[in-house]
Structure 1
Amino acid sequence: MDRRDFFKRTGLTLAAGALLGPRVLADEAEKRVVQEELSGKILNYNPRMQYRPMGRTGVDVSALGFGMLRLPMQANGSVDFDQSVAMVRRAIEGGVNYIDTGRVYLNGQSEQAVGKALAGGWRDRVYVTSKSPWWAMERPEDFEKFFDESRRAIGTDVIDFYHIHMIMHRGLNEKVVPYKLIEKMEKLKADGKIRFMGFSFHDRLQLFKKVVEASSAWDFCLIQHNYLDYEYEAGVLGPKYAAANGMGVAVMKPVRTGFLANLPQSMRDALHSTGVEKPDVEWALDYLWDIPEVSVAVSGMNSMADVEANLKYASKARPNMLTPDEREALGATIRAFRETPGHIDCTGCYQCIPCPHNVAIGYIFAYVYNNYLVHKDMKRAMSDYTIAMSPIQRGAPASACVNCGACLEKCPQGLDIPNLLARVKETMGK
């Protein structure tokens, strides 16, 4: 829009200017012009949502993404599709344009829920992601099979953001490299079947860097990060390294699979120690949105109330948004967590893996056992331990330890890992 068009539009509201004043009128007119320009540039633009560039892709994504793993369920164990569809569409109405699902999520029902939610014209308003599970592949051709199954379930010809799911040391060595999955991703992109290629990640920072450097065609990555686990897996340095390589950064589990959404009182008191009062979830999301390199925080939402609350928080999302007092409060909260009696001071750096007996040491200590100590919720802990941690994806339970001691010299914290695994086995029963 040139200067003449701008003043032509503002002249149409000249009468209103007599009431509002010339400065207010000019500000409102300029705001409308900016919003119209953004609406033409940003998919599903809503002025109440914040948007961020997704690396070299050239697209802007909503600061809040909808994670389709923790949908409302029915008593029979099936997804409540009616609730899920309503929630997704409300999020889209609120400006969300990034919907994250995966082939294996909820036994395939997650992709089906996305397909139902986006039917009837909603598909054109969002970017859809999905993921290819290496551990489920028995032969290289399964990659194309899983991709086509995902497209059919979602009801789309093109998947916008496609991942190799959950790259870890075992996956990289056993399937990703031998099955040439990165090359297959590059071909999908060249053929126009996906718009952007990336990977999700669960391992140590050194391996993350290796994967980033494995292809110049990576457009984005999906990592786990939150304020409690600033050293865990790719950690706080992961987004910076990915962004330095031109990649967009999506972050999963911003509330640590619900842990940071319902804090114990000691941690909540630490958050509020500097006088800043916010809901637990808002603290967790603000921490991520404060990081300039983070493109989108993918949040699993289980109810319409979750959707409405997260839309409200996302309307205020800004890079570098935290004050010094808020940063201090987050530090105090981390200390409160680590001072929990019996806490294992493991950062989940994964220096101890691969274990000769495939024990998922870092995940067991940093994610399962320490969470249990704080909340004393055995049902939740066993879900993290037995459902979210398969022997193929993450590794074996503490009971698989044979006290060989191979891990001892690798641990930067100098932890007595075999004895600590024995404590976990006694507590968790396996």
Structure 2
Amino acid sequence: MDRRDFLKSGLFAAAASAIIGPKALAQEVEKQVVRERLSREILNYNPQMQYRPMGRTGVKVSALGFGMLRLPMKNGHVDFDQTTPMVRRAIEGGVNYIDTGRVYLGGESEQAVGRALAGGWRDRVYVTSKMPWWEMRSVDDFEKFFDQSRRTIGTDVIDFYHIHMIMHRAWKDYVLPYRLIEKMERLKSQGKIRFMGFSFHDSLQLFKKVVEYTPAWDFCLIQHNYLDYEYEAGVLGPKYAAANGMGLAVMKPVRTGFLARLPQTMHDALASTGIRKPDAEWALDYLWDIPEVSVAVSGMGSMADVEENLKYAAKARPNMLSPAEREALGAAIYAYRQAPGHIDCTGCYQCIPCPHNVAIGYILAYVYNNYLLHGNRQRALADYTVSMSPVQRGDPASSCVACGECLAKCPQHLDIPNLLARVRETMGK
């Protein structure tokens, strides 16, 4: 600060003190000092956004992350003209975590990120992407895919890089034999990625095995929400990741839109306690209440979604839910499980691998139970076909031959072959 600026600031402080009083002025100066310090410590700091530590990485990420999978579409392709302003508005609102993947939207998700971050916006955010193991045909594909992602996004460095969708088949047939973890470590040592991690879709048992395999993991991405507290890594996943020093991103906080547009029975259950807020806010608040959650990665399909989520994120705090709010969430879960025909599958994945590659837990716990509550067959079929390729998750219910191998493995003692036959009749496959 030069002499002229000093005199100006002194005159301003004297004038302000005369107007608002010395105590109020001191408080305002203290706030300004704090804001300036946070601006230096936090990328793209905005006082209207909340930020959380990302495990051992040493960086703080926005409580809300922009998930680049459910974008506005036009004629079967990403509507870049809509998407770019949405991403930039989120960044202006303090979001500093942009989550994409090589296979998202046929590669157009990474293109959308590149377009949105051009012109200086890249420097304001952490960018993620993911290595799709199921597309690999040789060990050389790892670095080839990585370089293609960098070029598409328009960046030299990818901040958070994942092995995409680790599950039993990925771990056994690709991650270990192809030495993908060592390849990630090499990229990190070369400065091409800042942090290495994985996204996950399988049982808590496998999740623990993956986390414990190497201390090199910096972070992970799991699916979690208030309905799925037993599903996949479940409610213990965040605690286990944090206990191992890892940052934790959570995907599908509104369960691919299900928790943003609740069926009436669940909506009424939440309202019965007298607490009223939008369905999506309930879902996000549940995650932000968990201290171990670093960032909730939310797909946003419109500018209205961006504005609403920014508003919710401004209030995000660990341990933010009151006892009455937790009771309301419990009532909503109970209402969900009372749906006629509900299958009491938790998606624990103890039944897989299935000898015929049927995606048992995903089909029963996720696709079919969602269908029962909403009755939207088109939406259910999208979850069933688009989100469940035979390589990634497994085959449809029609592949079940009723061999019975799954029966002894099920902790809920479900009659899995008969339940899959019901799904096959409903879904037509």
TM-score normalised per structure 2: 0.97
Distance (whole Å) between structure 2 residues aligned to residue 371 and residue 14 of structure 1: 63
Q: For 1:55, what is the secondary structure of its paired residue? A: coil
Aligned equivalent of 1:5? none
- Pairs within 5 Å for 1:303-314: 303-314=302-313
Q: For 1:250, what is the secondary structure of its paired residue? A: strand
Whichever residue aligns with residue 36 of structure 2, its letter is E
> 1:11 offset after TM fit, Å?
8.0
Q: Do structure 1's residue 46 and structure 2's residue 59 form an aligned pair?
A: no
Q: Do structure 1's residue 396 and structure 2's residue 387 form an aligned pair?
A: no
- Pairs within 5 Å for 1:114-133: 114-133=113-132
Q: For 1:213, what is the secondary structure of its paired residue? A: helix
Asked whether the equivalents of residues 222 and 252 of structure 1 are also in contact (C-alpha less than 8 Å), the reply is: yes
- Pairs within 5 Å for 1:54-69: 54-69=54-69
Distance (whole Å) between structure 2 residues aligned to residue 11 and residue 232 of structure 1: 61
Aligned equivalent of 1:143? 142
> 1:413 offset after TM fit, Å?
0.7
Aligned equivalent of 1:3? none
Q: Please, which runs of 5 or more residues in structure 1 have no aligned partner?
A: 1-7
> 1:9 offset after TM fit, Å?
6.8
- The alignment of Structure 1 onto Structure 2 pairs a total of residues equal to 423
- Root-mean-square deviation (CA, aligned residues, Å) is 1.3
> 1:10 offset after TM fit, Å?
8.3
Q: Deviations over 1:9-65 (max 9, x none)?
A: 788423222332333222211111100000011000000000000000000000000
Q: For 2:353, what is the secondary structure of its paired residue? A: coil
Q: Do structure 1's residue 81 and structure 2's residue 80 form an aligned pair?
A: yes
Aligned equivalent of 2:70? 70
Q: For 2:91, what is the secondary structure of its paired residue? A: helix
- Pairs within 5 Å for 1:209-224: 209-224=208-223
Distance (whole Å) between structure 2 residues aligned to residue 353 and residue 9 of structure 1: 68
Q: For 2:161, what is the secondary structure of its paired residue? A: strand
- Cα distance change on mapping 1:10 and 1:200 into 2, 3 Å: farther
- Cα distance change on mapping 1:366 and 1:9 into 2, 3 Å: farther
- Cα distance change on mapping 1:24 and 1:192 into 2, 3 Å: same
Asked whether the equivalents of residues 212 and 218 of structure 1 are also in contact (C-alpha less than 8 Å), the reply is: yes
Whichever residue aligns with residue 57 of structure 1, its letter is T
TM-score normalised per structure 1: 0.97
> 1:276 offset after TM fit, Å?
0.8
Q: Do structure 1's residue 370 and structure 2's residue 391 form an aligned pair?
A: no
Q: Do structure 1's residue 173 and structure 2's residue 172 form an aligned pair?
A: yes
Aligned equivalent of 1:282? 281
Asked whether the equivalents of residues 10 and 29 of structure 1 are also in contact (C-alpha less than 8 Å), the reply is: no
- Pairs within 5 Å for 1:153-232: 153-232=152-231
Distance (whole Å) between structure 2 residues aligned to residue 134 and residue 247 of structure 1: 22
Q: Do structure 1's residue 35 and structure 2's residue 35 form an aligned pair?
A: yes
> 1:120 offset after TM fit, Å?
0.5
Distance (whole Å) between structure 1 residues aligned to residue 201 and residue 158 of structure 2: 23
Q: Do structure 1's residue 248 and structure 2's residue 261 form an aligned pair?
A: no
Distance (whole Å) between structure 2 residues aligned to residue 304 and residue 175 of structure 1: 39
Distance (whole Å) between structure 1 residues aligned to residue 422 and residue 14 of structure 2: 75
Asked whether the equivalents of residues 161 and 197 of structure 1 are also in contact (C-alpha less than 8 Å), the reply is: yes
Distance (whole Å) between structure 2 residues aligned to residue 13 and residue 351 of structure 1: 66
Q: For 2:365, what is the secondary structure of its paired residue? A: helix
Q: Deviations over 1:119-169 (max 9, x none)?
A: 000000000000000000011111111000000000000000000000000
Q: Deviations over 1:233-259 (max 9, x none)?
A: 000100100010000000000000000
Q: Do structure 1's residue 319 and structure 2's residue 318 form an aligned pair?
A: yes
Aligned equivalent of 1:264? 263
> 1:421 offset after TM fit, Å?
0.6
Q: For 1:58, what is the secondary structure of its paired residue? A: coil
Aligned equivalent of 2:89? 90
Q: For 1:321, what is the secondary structure of its paired residue? A: coil
Between the aligned residues of both structures, percent identity stands at 80
Distance (whole Å) between structure 1 residues aligned to residue 14 and residue 347 of structure 2: 62
Distance (whole Å) between structure 2 residues aligned to residue 301 and residue 57 of structure 1: 26
Distance (whole Å) between structure 1 residues aligned to residue 11 and residue 400 of structure 2: 77
Asked whether the equivalents of residues 72 and 79 of structure 1 are also in contact (C-alpha less than 8 Å), the reply is: yes
Q: Do structure 1's residue 418 and structure 2's residue 417 form an aligned pair?
A: yes
Distance (whole Å) between structure 2 residues aligned to residue 11 and residue 165 of structure 1: 57
> 1:111 offset after TM fit, Å?
0.3
Aligned equivalent of 1:4? none
Q: Do structure 1's residue 291 and structure 2's residue 290 form an aligned pair?
A: yes
Asked whether the equivalents of residues 99 and 126 of structure 1 are also in contact (C-alpha less than 8 Å), the reply is: yes
> 1:210 offset after TM fit, Å?
0.5
Q: Do structure 1's residue 22 and structure 2's residue 22 form an aligned pair?
A: yes
Asked whether the equivalents of residues 100 and 128 of structure 1 are also in contact (C-alpha less than 8 Å), the reply is: yes
Q: For 2:199, what is the secondary structure of its paired residue? A: strand
> 1:406 offset after TM fit, Å?
0.7
Asked whether the equivalents of residues 131 and 162 of structure 1 are also in contact (C-alpha less than 8 Å), the reply is: yes
Asked whether the equivalents of residues 340 and 374 of structure 1 are also in contact (C-alpha less than 8 Å), the reply is: yes
Aligned equivalent of 2:331? 332
Distance (whole Å) between structure 2 residues aligned to residue 293 and residue 96 of structure 1: 19
- Cα distance change on mapping 1:19 and 1:68 into 2, 3 Å: same
Q: Deviations over 1:349-369 (max 9, x none)?
A: 111111111111100011100
Q: For 1:108, what is the secondary structure of its paired residue? A: helix
Distance (whole Å) between structure 1 residues aligned to residue 207 and residue 11 of structure 2: 55
Distance (whole Å) between structure 2 residues aligned to residue 172 and residue 279 of structure 1: 39
Whichever residue aligns with residue 71 of structure 2, its letter is L
Asked whether the equivalents of residues 169 and 354 of structure 1 are also in contact (C-alpha less than 8 Å), the reply is: yes
Q: For 1:382, what is the secondary structure of its paired residue? A: helix
Q: Deviations over 1:87-112 (max 9, x none)?
A: 00000000000000000000100000
Q: For 1:316, what is the secondary structure of its paired residue? A: coil
Distance (whole Å) between structure 2 residues aligned to residue 272 and residue 23 of structure 1: 43
Q: For 2:78, what is the secondary structure of its paired residue? A: coil
Distance (whole Å) between structure 2 residues aligned to residue 337 and residue 30 of structure 1: 48
Asked whether the equivalents of residues 10 and 26 of structure 1 are also in contact (C-alpha less than 8 Å), the reply is: no
